[in-house]
Each structure stands twice: as C-alpha cells, then as structure tokens.
Amino acid sequence: MGGDHTAITNLRRAKISHTRDPKSPILAVVIFSVLLFSDMGHAETGSFDFEGNSPLAGWQTKRYLGKVIYKIASENSNNFVHAVSKNAATALYKRIRFDARKTPIISWRWKVDQFPKKQGLGSAEDDDYAARVYVIFISWFFPSSKCIEYIFDDETKEGTILDNPYSRNIKLYVIRSGREKNGRWFREERNIYEDYLEAFGEKPVLKIGAVAFMVDSDNTKSYAEASFDDLMIGYEKNGRVK
Amino acid sequence: MRIKYLVKHKLQFTYLAILLIGILLPLMLVPLAVYYLIFTVLAHRIAIPDWIAYNLFPAIGTINKVIIIAFPFLILLVIFWSLVLSHRIVGPIYRLEKDLDDIVDGKRRGPIKIRKADELKEVVEKINRLIDSLEKHRCGKA
C-alpha cells in the first residue's frame, strides 16, 4: 500500500516535472533576443589612445577580402594603430553607443604612408581609400542604418561628399586630401551631428552604434598603408567626454 | 457526382479558413525569417555598411523578385488546395445529411454512396450497415 502511494507520488512528480510551462517559449524568445542584441547595446564611449597592456581590447577585425594587418606600432614612445593592406579590405571595428544629438564630437589622428593606386575611373573599381573612419548609425533593420565615412584620399577634393555606389544611406565625406600629405600626422575633429545634417539633409534619428577604421586596396589590387591614433568619441563641444 | 465545390457554406468556410491560416501563416513567416536572417543576424555579423550594401542588397533584390513572382501563384495554389481539402471533409457530411434525410423521408433506400478519396468513408460504411440491418429488421417484422 505504502509502495503504491510512493509510486503515485513519484508519478505525480514526474508529471509535474514534464508539464511545460506555457511561459517558457516566450521566455526563450526574450532570452534569445536579449542575447542577439546584447552586443548592440554597448554604452561605451570615450577615448582610445592605444596605450597600455591591451590597447585593442574590444576592437574586432571584420574581414572582407584578404587580410589587412592591424597592429600596434610605436613612435617616440607613443603607441598607435598601424595598418598595411595588400590587395585586401579589412576593417577594425568597435561597438559603442552614443547619441550624436547630445555628444556630437569625434576626433582622431591619422597618417597615410601609401595611397592605393587608382585608375582615375571614378567608378566602383576605384573604391579604395588609404584611410577611412566609419561612424555607423545602426538600426535593427539594416537597410535603415546610416553611415558616414570620413576619408583621407590622395585626389578627391576636401569637402567632397559622395554617395556610396551601392547605398544612399552611406556617405563618403573626404576631409583630408593630397598626395603631398603622405607620411604626416593630422588631427581631425568633426561634429558628427553637423556632418550628418550636411550629408543627409536631415537630423540623425538613430544612435551611433559603432566606429571603425579601414585601409583598403582590394578594388585597385594595389597597396595601402596608414596609421590611426587618439580616437575620442562621444563628447561635447567643450571637450568633456561622456 | 458532386461538382459544386462549396456545399455546406458555413462549415466549409470554417474548414477553409482553418486550412488557409494553417498554410498561409507559415508561408508568410518564411520570407520574414529570411529578411530577419539577412538584415539583422547576417548584417550585424558583417557589420561594415559598404560590404552589406554590396553583398546583401543584391541578394535581397533577387529574393524579392522570387517572392513577388512566386507568391501570387503559391497563394492561388494554396486557396485551390484548401478548397479541395475542405470539400473532401465537408462534401461527405453534406451528402450524408442529404441522403439520410431522403432515407428518413422514404424518398430513397440505402446504401449511401461516397467517393473513394472522401473522408468519413468508414463512418458511411457503418451507417450503410446500420441502414441495411434496419431494413432487414423491418422486412422481418413485416
């Protein structure tokens, strides 16, 4: 009798343990969504001088074609990111999150050692630049995302804003130009909000979700070399970093 | 031979609606899942806008063309197939009701005939056996 009672109790327990919680699929979807978008929500802004023990912590390389070598180089005891591209396109990418309407300033230093050899066609085959800094306004639905690429080129006139050949949501803003500027460091400070307004003709709605550096030479099948340093993002005009 | 594809309207529309929802809903979820996969999961993995625009936009353009061309045909096919399936279920019920009414009213005698592909074949066979046995019983009494 007692054995029967125990068996029934065990059976009930087993039934209870196998009863599916109706909330569990919803919970699974919520957990999946949180995991999926968790790396989109980095609230990190600040400055990156590429000094210290882990100067590229949090930065990832995004490969497209070949492999651009991004490494930390040193000059007069100052560290910086040095990139060499041989017929390759790879970006150095950092997830961040800040609102260009509140903290619109970005600054960095860059230097080009070698420009890619363009054919002067002005087409997609020439879509290589010695140095680019991406500011990406990420939307969960990517076609709605927008991007400004600040470009250091050898020929295109400074101040030129170009459409990306494949998407009008990507604007190429040439802010430094000239072959004679080869081998010299330049410091840039841009107001993203104003640049966005100029490039897209509207105020930014999306928050900035990532920044990236790129040196590419894949389309021209040539060679490019550039360096980046002292990136500061998400600060106000008075220089205060959020 | 039944040629009307809509018989017991209310019942058939209920089955038709259940079948259409059951087929069309997953069918519509497929392109949504493809868009989600491409524009959210894949795009965030690729990350660099130029490459996404260069690689994913043409791919999604092709997918859109396939969907635009194939979807109307698929919907028509689904509607037609749902109509056939719902008729296979509701048609025999309609026939059964009508024939039973006729038998009860004495307008005709069994057995009730049903098409090979129709559902409820076994039920109709049992009803035919019941009719047969009732008729034998009635003849025995007479």
Residue boundaries of the structural domains of chain B:
9-141
Task: Decide if B40 and A93 are in contact by the 8 Å CB cutoff.
Answer: no
Distance from CA of A187 to the nearest CA of B (A): 24
Q: Look at strands A69-75 and A208-216 and give their pairing.
A: unpaired
Q: Are A220 and A114 in contact (CB under 8 A)?
A: no
Nearest to A141 among B40, B47, B49 (CB): B40
CA angle A106, A79, A91 (to 5 degrees): 55
Q: Are residues A30 and A85 in the same domain?
A: no
Q: What pairs with residue A167 in β-bridges?
A: A164
Residue A221: pLDDT over 70: yes
Q: Are residues A55 and A155 in the same domain?
A: yes
Query: Is A241 within a domain?
Result: no
**Per-residue pLDDT tens for B17-60?**
998 999 989 988 988 898 888 888 888 888 898 888 888 888 88
Query: Is A116 within a domain?
Result: yes
Q: Are residues A129 and A213 in the same domain?
A: yes
Q: At what angle do helices B57-104 and B121-141 cross, to 10 degrees?
A: 0
Look up the domain containing A161 and give its range: 46-235
Q: Are residues A142 and A185 in the same domain?
A: yes
**What's A146's domain CATH number?**
2.60.120.200
Task: Decide if A64 and B44 are in contact by the 8 Å CB cutoff.
Answer: no
Tell which wins on pLDDT, B138 or A185.
A185
Q: Are residues A50 and A34 in the same domain?
A: no
Query: Is A240 within a domain?
Result: no
Which residue in chain A has the smallest CA separation from B53?
A166
Query: Is A15 within a domain?
Result: yes
Query: Is A242 within a domain?
Result: no
Interface of B with A in 4-43 (CB under 8 A): 39-41, 43
- Strand, coil or helix: B1: coil
pTM of this prediction? 0.71
Q: Are residues A135 and A199 in the same domain?
A: yes
The whole-number average pLDDT for the span B102-123 is 82
Task: Decide if B57 and A36 are in contact by the 8 Å CB cutoff.
Answer: no
Name the average pLDDT for chain A.
83
Q: How many CB pairs under 8 A join A and B?
A: 55
Q: Please, what sign has the CA dihedral across residues B44, B48, B49, B53?
A: negative
Ranking A118-127, A214-223, B13-22, B91-100 by mean pLDDT, the lowest is A118-127
Domain count of the fold of chain A: 2
Q: Are residues A25 and A98 in the same domain?
A: no
Q: Look at strands A146-153 and A167-177 and give their pairing.
A: parallel
Distance from CA of A173 to the nearest CA of B (A): 14
Which among B86, B124, B99, B117 is positioned nearest to B6, based on CA atoms?
B86
Query: Which residue, among A142, A147, A162, A173, would best test binding to B if mutated, counting the most B CBs under 10 Å from its CB?
Result: A142
Q: Are B135 and B110 in contact (CB under 8 A)?
A: yes
What is the predicted pLDDT for the residue at B120? 80
- Our separate counts of H helices and E strands in chain B read 5, 0
Please, which contacts does B132-140 make with residues 24 or more away whose CB atoms are closer than 8 Å? B135/B109, B135/B110
Q: Amino acid letter at A151?
A: I
Q: Are residues A34 and A71 in the same domain?
A: no
